[in-house]
């Protein structure tokens, strides 16, 4: 299968259903909220939310994975917030900012774990 000609991603996107908690950094309307990751890579992630998030806003993210017992703390730039079910569900695309080394190691494990052998 050939890659799409307009692919801009630098990292493989892996479908995973990890749990996250997140909060808008500026303390806006959303306090701590819980969600589930749709897909993730070293560069960012996509998740669903019951809250609309402002594009260009920064969120603090706590990611829970089976790879380590602690949460992985990340900061993300909201690239897009698309309404999926009017007024109820939003799909959020986030680009990670300033990924700590320890978090990068776990994100790389997630990518490697999700790539089928031979690719």
- Domains of the chain are 14-114 (2.40.10.220)
Instruction: Write out pLDDT tens, residues 30-70.
Output: 567 889 999 998 899 999 999 899 999 999 999 988 878 88
pLDDT of residue 18: 85
**Separation CA 18–CA 110 (nearest Å):** 11
Does the structure show a pLDDT above 50 at 2?
Answer: no
Does the structure show a pLDDT above 90 at 25?
Answer: no
Question: Across 65-116, where does the E strand assignment appear?
Answer: 72-85, 89-97
pTM here?
0.81
Question: Across the chain, where does the E strand assignment appear?
Answer: 14-15, 19-24, 33-40, 44-49, 58-64, 72-85, 89-97
pLDDT of residue 75: 96
Q: How far is CA 31 from CA 6, 35, 64, 106, 108, in A?
A: 36, 13, 18, 26, 29
């Amino acid at each position: 299968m050939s890659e799409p000609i307009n692919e801009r991603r630098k990292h493989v996107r892996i479908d995973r259903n990890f749990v996250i908690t997140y909060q808008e950094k500026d303390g806006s309307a959303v306090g701590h909220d819980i969600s589930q990751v749709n897909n993730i890579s070293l560069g960012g992630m996509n998740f669903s939310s019951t809250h609309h998030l402002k594009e260009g806003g920064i969120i603090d993210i706590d990611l829970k994975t089976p790879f380590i017992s602690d949460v992985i703390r990340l900061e993300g730039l909201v690239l897009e917030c698309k309404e999926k079910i009017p007024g109820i569900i939003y799909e959020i695309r986030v680009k990670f900012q300033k990924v700590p080394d320890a978090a990068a190691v776990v994100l790389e494990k997630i990518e490697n774990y999700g790539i089928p052998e031979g690719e």
